[in-house]
Amino acid sequence: MRVGDIYETRIDAMGASGEGVCRPEGFALFVRGAVEGDLARVRVTKLNKSYGFAALLEIVEPSKSRVEPQCSSFGVCGGCAMLNIGYEKQLEIKERIVRDALERVGGFSEPDVFPIVPSVPNTHYRNKAQYPITPRGAGFFMRASHNVVSAQNCALQDIVSAAVLNVTEEYMKKFGVMPYDEKSGDGIVRHVCTRSGKSDTIVVIVTNTSVLPYEHEFVKALTERLGTRLCGVVQNINKERTNVVFGKRDKLLFGRRFIMDNIGKINYKISYKSFYQVNPHTTLPLYEKVLELAAPRGETVFDLYCGCGTISLFLARAAREVIGVEIVPSAVKDAAENAYINNITNVRFYEGAAEEIVPQIISDKPCGVVVLDPPRRGCDKSLLDCVVNATPKRIVYVSCNSATLARDVRVLCDGGYTLKEVHPFDQFPHTMHVETVVLLSKGEIDSKKVRVEFSLENMDMSGFQKDATYGQIKERVLEQTGLKVSSLYIAQIKQKHGIIERENYNKSKSDNTKQPKCPPEKEKAITEALRYFGMV
């Protein structure tokens, strides 16, 4: 194979950045704009040792998964890599991304990946926006450049964000307020940002100057457009020659510097700099899953990278105590206030980098559960070592980056933990990102094998047999038959017997979705296990 060679080939997979993958002559080529299932003509543009890149020349036969993108900037803007792929296919691809990362990066064999939880709706879901304002326009940066494309018909941002961008552009044009030029350092407005809750929206305008010209007119225009939804307008001042969005100083122009929102029964105050999940439609089931897997049962929980306390307060309902660690000062302040707002007294928050703070505090308390929710780069190795040394019974890891998730989970498992369950959530529809929650449990107690011998003959097993977990059922099947069974297969057989615990395990997300059916020999083994545990 040489650069310039042309092939007619089938696209048989999707790459992590949204490129189609084909394998002419058995060699992997990444093709931007191609979709899994396409029959395409491609031209080789670059070759590396084990893979290469190709340009899409022609779609000879389009994939059945292809759809018309809902945005005129698709393919130019780098935000929505899968907007031209049907949603059900996107979910299938994302499940595969998580599984492949665990297998290839983490070295896990047949990881127990549950069906992905979809986002309903899957468009206009983002409650946060950051629009760069430049002399060449306002919107989003093009892929791999600092040029911008229009964001007016973005399929991901909520309609409130689009309205704020319109108001900002109209205000700047009317009053001659110049955009910031990163090359010369001249101009005033650098970004306009929004953050919304169910009924609140805060607007942050980032400027290169201490004074925002005609600030009252800007606030008035926003108030007229958004009405009572507008809860605050902040001018953030950033005079640095940097691509960091926010500066260290800000000035309140109207209302307050935060929004109020709720997830389930917990109310939250969220400052504009604090981390907050961007898709409200999947956040509640995501946090409920974290609570279910953590199962604190009156134990002490360490919530690392806790943000404004969203997960911490969820866990506090069942934990003896929750200790949160977060590096962003405003988020720590919000977390403490959120605990006060909800009258939750069994939480404490520490400010600082988790890898620096945790070693100082985790050894002072018996640690039952650790929750990790790091940024995309994952956890520092020293922090993972510290967690392993603390020997919590369970670790729940929440991640939006499958590769760093797999890398870190491997470190934890090498330290004596076992990967139990993997739950993907489509927190970012139409992008290649997947939010994933995994459960790890400790296989042994302080490396000491404890042998206990007793008789089950005269014991009443019914009290706990009804609560047999998926893991217990799998272990029983493996022990008795040597067969490995998935959670999906167990869910199917439980449904046959009228046992329906979690609907998304048992039924597909659409009538057209094909899920593998449990083979007869595994059905027989699972049924025997259900009988053993007194469930049927």
DSSP string for 188-240 = SEEEEEEEE-SS-EEEEEEESSSS-TTHHHHHHHHHHHHGGGEEEEEEEE--S
| Verdict on whether the full-model pTM lies above 0.75 | yes
The rounded distance, in Å, linking the Cα atoms of 296 and 369 is 7
Task: Give the model's pLDDT for residue 311.
Answer: 95
pLDDT for 303-338, tens place per residue? 999 999 999 999 998 999 999 999 989 899 999 999
DSSP H helices, 364-512, are: 381-390, 402-414, 462-465, 470-481, 487-496, 503-506
Structure tokens at 364: 């002072």
Tell me if 488 sits within 8 A of 110, measured CB to CB. Answer: no
| Residue-averaged pLDDT of the chain | 88
Q: Prior bond to 135 cis, omega within 30?
A: no
Other residues' Cβ atoms within 10 Å of the Cβ of residue 256 = 15
Task: Give the model's pLDDT for residue 514.
Answer: 53
Amino acid at 158: D
Indicate which residues carry an active-site annotation.
Answer: 400
The rounded distance, in Å, linking the Cα atoms of 486 and 292 is 19
Output DSSP code: residue 114. Answer: P
The SS3 of residue 534 is coil
The SS3 of residue 494 is helix
Tell me if 314 sits within 8 A of 264, measured CB to CB. Answer: yes
Place of tokens 């306002």: 138
How wide is the angle at C-alpha 100 spanned by C-alphas 98 and 101, nearest 5°?
A: 65
Q: What residue ranges of the chain have pLDDT lower than 70?
A: 364, 443-468, 500-515, 533, 536
The rounded distance, in Å, linking the Cα atoms of 323 and 350 is 8
Place of tokens 């393919």: 75
Place of tokens 């603390």: 390
Distance, first Cα to last Cα, the chain: 59
